[in-house]
């Protein structure tokens, strides 16, 4: 199969030097890309800014903003059999990006924020006969939040994890399929979880 995998954070700039982002290391997405290559799949990796070397044998596109990731994903998805959307994209961006560098005023400032485009929902809406697997990082009511994301974004499965996953070498996840059932629970190094996920994907879709 030809798989699209997203990884890492995105950035939304306040001015030309400051940005909003998150602490995603990209390790989970890169581990999944590596496991997919090892399993014999073609991999298109779309990566936000990370300090990782991409796995050998995959096609890599680097992006910064959520809009850039969205465009890159939509461009690549037509030629893929499915997507594993691991990237931790920014949900909001400043309504206005200031030119240059904002200077201190001695007082508080307010920044009006608007939602960014929903990359995963766009992929889910246009998936046709391709599969879409998302990741949900939830802190409160985690399973309920993951189920809402699964349905709202038209995913075939979603991987639920928590804040402890950010920047860590290890993770604990639940895999929820499109029926809403937890079909697997894995804990351990992200490299091992990636292998398990690719094995599950192969078992469900590789023979189709």
Annotated domain spans of the chain: 2-206
Query: Cα separation of 193 and 203, whole Å?
Result: 15
Q: 124 vs 132, 167, 204, CA distance in Å?
A: 6, 27, 18
CB atoms within 10 A of CB 101: 10
Share of residues in the chain with pLDDT > 70 (%): 99
Q: Is the pLDDT of residue 196 over 80?
A: yes
Query: Cα separation of 130 and 148, whole Å?
Result: 21
Task: Using only the alpha carbons of the chain, give its radius of gyration.
Answer: 17
pLDDT tens-digit readout, 38-71: 999 999 999 999 999 999 999 999 999 999 999 9
Q: Is the pLDDT of residue 167 over 80?
A: no
Crossing angle for the helix pair 27-38 and 190-201, to the nearest 10 degrees: 50
SS3 of 47-83 = ECCCCCCCCCCCEEEECCCHHHHHHHHHHHHCCCCEE
**Which pLDDT score is estimated for 207?**
64
Q: Which residues are catalytic?
A: 22
**Which pLDDT score is estimated for 132?**
97
For residue 199, give the 3-state DSSP assignment: helix
CB-hemisphere CA count at 13 Å for 21? Answer: 19
Residue 152's H or E segment, with its range, is helix 142-152
**Which pLDDT score is estimated for 159?**
96
Domain 2-206, architecture per CATH? 3-Layer(aba) Sandwich (3.40)
**Which pLDDT score is estimated for 95?**
94
Averaged pLDDT for residues 17-30 = 93
Q: Is the pLDDT of residue 138 over 90?
A: no
Q: Is the pLDDT of residue 208 over 60?
A: no
Averaged pLDDT for residues 127-155 = 92
Mean pLDDT of the chain, nearest integer: 93
**Which pLDDT score is estimated for 137?**
86
Q: Is the pLDDT of residue 104 over 90?
A: no
**pTM of the complete model:** 0.93
**Which pLDDT score is estimated for 75?**
95
Could you tell me if 45 and 29 are in contact, meaning their C-beta atoms sit under 8 angstroms apart? yes
């Amino acid at each position: 199969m030809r798989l699209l995998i997203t990884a890492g954070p995105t950035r939304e700039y306040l001015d030309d030097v400051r940005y909003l982002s998150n602490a995603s290391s990209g390790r989970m997405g890169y581990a999944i890309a590596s496991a997919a290559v090892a399993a014999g799949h073609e991999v298109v990796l779309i990566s936000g800014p990370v300090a990782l070397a991409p796995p050998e044998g995959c096609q890599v596109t680097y992006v910064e903003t959520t809009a850039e990731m969205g465009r890159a994903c939509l461009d690549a998805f037509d030629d893929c059999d499915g997507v594993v959307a691991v990237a931790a994209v920014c949900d909001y961006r400043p309504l206005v990006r200031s030119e240059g560098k904002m200077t201190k005023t001695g007082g508080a400032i307010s920044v009006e924020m608007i939602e960014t485009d929903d990359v995963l929902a766009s992929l889910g809406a246009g998936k046709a006969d391709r599969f879409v697997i998302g990741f949900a990082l939830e802190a409160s009511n985690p399973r309920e939040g993951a189920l809402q994301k699964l349905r709202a974004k038209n995913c075939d499965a979603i991987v639920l994890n928590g804040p402890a996953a950010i920047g860590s070498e290890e993770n604990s996840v639940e895999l929820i399929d499109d029926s809403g059932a937890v079909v697997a629970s894995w804990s351990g190094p992200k490299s091992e979880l990636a292998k398990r996920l690719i094995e599950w994907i192969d078992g469900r879709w590789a023979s189709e």
